[in-house]
Each structure stands twice: as C-alpha cells, then as structure tokens.
Amino acid sequence: MIGPYEIHGHAIVSGDERIADSQARMPRVLRFPADQTQFNAAMDRARVVVLGRVGHLNHPDERRTRLVVSSAPAGLERRAEAWWWNPAGVGVLEALTAAAPGGGLVVVAGGKRVFDQFLDLGYDEFHLARAPHVTLPGGVACFSECDRGKTADEVLRGRGMIAGPAEVLDPANEVTLTIFRAPR
C-alpha cells in the first residue's frame, strides 16, 4: 500500500521475459483473449491506471483515469486526456492523490521503467501472465533485471513477493497467470 492506494501490477511476458517488441510496441503475438479479458476487468476496477508515455500514446483510452509517467512535465500536469507525472518532480503519493483522490486500486500497466519504479515502491500484487512459446528478440524486458538474466518471477520473488498457483488462461498456447502477493 502507498497511503490509501492498493498497487497491482499487470504484465504478460514472452518466453524471453519481454513485454514489447524491439519497436517498444506490444505485438499481436503477445495478445490472448483470456489475458486481455482479465486485464481489462482489472483496469475497469481501478481508480487510476499508471503507464509510461509510449504505452499511453500507442493505446489511447479516454474511458479510464490515467497517470502517465514521463520526464516531460516538471512535476504533475493535468492534460485533456490524462494526468502526466514526472517522478523526479513530484512524489508518488501526491501524484496518486491528484489523479484518484481518496485512495483505491491502482493498476500499473507498464512499461519497463514504470514497472521498475513501482517495484521499488512496492506492489501489493503483481499479475504476471506468461506466454512461453512467444519470443521477442531485442524487445523490451518486463523489469531491468530481466535484461541481466533474471526471470520476472525471480525478480518478484527477490522482492519478497509470494507466488500463488498458476492458472491456465489459454491451454492451446500454454498461457498462464500467476498472482504474486506481498507478504502481509
């Protein structure tokens, strides 16, 4: 928890620990209906969705409150389509309070820099879907530590998170979902 906010990360990773291709885009081969359904349901429950600038620009969504992590604003800036936040200028609690007053569920949707930032701040849960038969050579890793040979699972466990049982989302493609939880 960060103040009155519960922080949930959501990612689907390829077999080589990537969340996007070499152009920093989520390719069609990493999209599976069952994963998209659970991800969209989580975003529908969220008070605010936190994501990076590239993800925001590639996947516009005016239905949900967004907090876009970017070095462009000096601190926190309200734009027509989203709140824009530079963590170097404004703390996370101040940014969340502006975007979603009163607390609630925060869904962290990536990319790598955003996942890393909240890894340091602390997730309450991280929903990690895995598509083991997809590879994205030269793509964007889920966490920076994945670029140094760790799996996303190892990174989360290294932060003390506890993995629940894997749920099969797509049997034909062996796509699974594991929810990691912070110890209580």
Number of structural domains the chain divides into: 1
State the first-to-last Cα distance of the chain, in angstroms, to the nearest integer.
11
SS3 145: helix
Q: What would the two tokens of residue 42 be?
A: 């989580």
Residue 55 confidence (pLDDT): 64
Containing domain of residue 168, as a range?
Answer: 5-181
Residue 154 to residue 144: CA distance in whole angstroms: 12
Answer yes or no: are the C-beta atoms of 156 and 163 closer than 8 Å. yes
Residue 150 confidence (pLDDT): 97
pLDDT for residue 18 is more than 60: yes
Residue 72 confidence (pLDDT): 84
Q: Which helix (H) or strand (E) holds 110?
A: strand 104-110
Residue 16 to residue 36: CA distance in whole angstroms: 20
Write out pLDDT tens, residues 91-119. 999 999 999 999 999 999 988 999 999 99
Q: What's the CATH number where 132 sits?
A: 3.40.430.10
Residue 61 confidence (pLDDT): 67
